[in-house]
Amino acid sequence: MKQYLSLFRIRFINSLQYRAAAYGGMVTQFFWGFMTLLLFRAFYKSGAADFPMEFSRLSSYIWLQQAFLTLFMIWYFDMDIFNSITSGNVAYELARPVDLYKMWFTKNVATRLSRATLRSFPILIVAALLPKPYGFSLPYSFTNFAMFLITAVLAFLIVMAFCMLVYISTFYTMSSLGVRIVAAALSDFLTGGIIPLPFLPDNVQRIIGLTPFASMQNLPFLIYSGHIAGAEMFRGIMLQVFWLAALVFIGRLWMNSALKRVVIQGG
């Protein structure tokens, strides 16, 4: 455990060095979030349909999404891992006295957390200063806030476990590009990254709700905004625990299988 904590600390501190990239990302995410809200506002004002979320709650959802982009977006991959597999440099990592799955998992957690640390709070602070209904609001209740924190941690770990499957798939392909594109496209839609899931038809919501994607950013953001409350929050946590255990179990089995057949070419 000590070696993984050391790896986490080194990776976390190293990623904090990229301040300029973080500032650029903050500006980009702030304006992207504001444009998304203006787009939704146009639909709300049209009065063409009854919308499943109050606009103020939708605003909090969008700002949380932008603030924690690096935590919950699947497409935020660590390219060093892909390059180590395709170039054969993974051989050096296999020679180390550490578990490869745990090492990659730890590196990903540290990288994403460090970048979220630099970006999240400034975005939320600026968003909170915006006039209603465009601004970031306080949580629906203290209970919702506490459940938001719990589900956010579980959602982040589920995202990491799913990303590990994408990394492992590269052992079986000549290039990671195709798998990354498919994973990013599917996850953006199924996690509510493009359109919050409550805006989808009920039948579609029920199907997506059984997948691990609904247990990612969708659940904690909807809990924070008050769209999900009561017993439904606890059912969501149980589903998160199930998917986290399942994805980690599948990932470790697949990793062991891949390492038994991996061939490193070169001198």
What does each C-alpha distance from 177 to 102, 185, 221, 232, 239 come to in angstroms? 23, 12, 29, 37, 30
State whether the Cα torsion 235-238-240-246 is positive or negative: negative
Alpha-carbon gap, residue 102 to 210, rounded angstroms: 27
Which of the four pLDDT bands, split at 50, 70 and 90, describes residue 267? very low
Element (H, E) at 175: none
Q: Model confidence over 139-149: pLDDT tens digits?
A: 888 999 999 99
Question: What share of the chain in percent tops pLDDT 70?
Answer: 97
For residue 186, what are its two tokens?
A: 């599917």
pLDDT tens sequence across 52-62: 888 989 999 99
Q: What's the half-sphere exposure (Cβ side, CA atoms, 13 Å) at 63?
A: 25
- The predicted model scores a pTM of 0.92
Residue 263 pLDDT exceeds 70? no
CA–CA dist 54, 44 (Å, integer): 9
For 27-51, what is the mean pLDDT? Answer: 84
